[in-house]
Amino acid sequence: ESHGIGVGVTIDGCPPRLELSPEDVQKELDRRKPGQSKLTTPRKEDDMAEILSGVVNGKTIGTPIGILVRNKNQIGRDYDNIAVSYRPSHADATYDAKYGIRAVAGGGRSSARETIGRVAAGAVAKKLLKAYSGVDVVGYVQKVQDIAAINIDVDTVTLEDVESNI
């Protein structure tokens, strides 16, 4: 939970002997870290990945991989003002309608911090795809309304190309 001890993920089905380190996961977590622009939440978290299980001496062992990111900057009173109303453009109302409970401090499942588990699992999947199939995963926004990226060769674009244009 975004306002509990931490946010994590359990990844099942990863084969043994894949080289995997906390740094592999950290690289992707750093890309999603909040507080990097005025468009994100001002809440600052270190988002440091801890691999709790499934990896020994830097290699997966074929058992489920447990990854945890501990919460450090959660302040429940930050949400006192929304305890009686829903936030505009947030999933508070739909969360309440679906689950029948308000998760005021952080938004529960609708918290952006919940993406940490998906990002961590994605980091493992990217590593696995590269190691077993030679596939590089690269994503970027090509167009927003009438503003479009130009001269993008989808066959040769690299993550470095994308990162250099942030």
Q: Domains (ranges, CATH) in the chain?
A: 6-135 (3.60.150.10), 136-166 (no CATH)
140 phi and psi angles, rounded to 5 deg: -160, 165
Say how many CA atoms lie within 13 Å of 37 toward its Cβ: 5
Q: CA angle 87-2-78, nearest 5°?
A: 50
Is residue 50 within 8 Å of 57, Cβ to Cβ?
no
Amino acid 145: pLDDT: 93
Which of 166, 67, 84, 64 has the alpha carbon at shortest distance from 120? 67
By C-alpha distance, which of 130, 112, 15 is closest to 69?
112
At 130, is the pLDDT very low, low, confident or very high (cuts 50, 70, 90)?
very high
Residue 113 pLDDT greater than 70, yes or no: yes
Average pLDDT over residues 116-126: 97
Question: Which pLDDT band, with edges at 50, 70 and 90, does 139 fall under?
Answer: confident
What per-residue confidence (pLDDT) applies to 36?
62
Closest C-alpha to 22, from 44, 46, 4: 46
In angstroms, the CA 67 to CA 71 distance is: 13
pTM of whole model > 0.85?
Answer: no
Tokens of 59: 């290699």
* Those residues with Cβ within 8 angstroms of residue 50's Cβ, 6 or more apart along the chain or in another chain: 22, 67, 68, 69, 70
Residue 163 has a pLDDT of 80
Residue 107 class from Cβ within 10 Å (0-12 exposed, 13-18 middle, 19+ buried)?
A: buried
Cβ distance 14 to 42 under 8 Å? no
pLDDT higher than threshold 80 for residue 21? yes
Residue entry with tokens 């809440």:
43
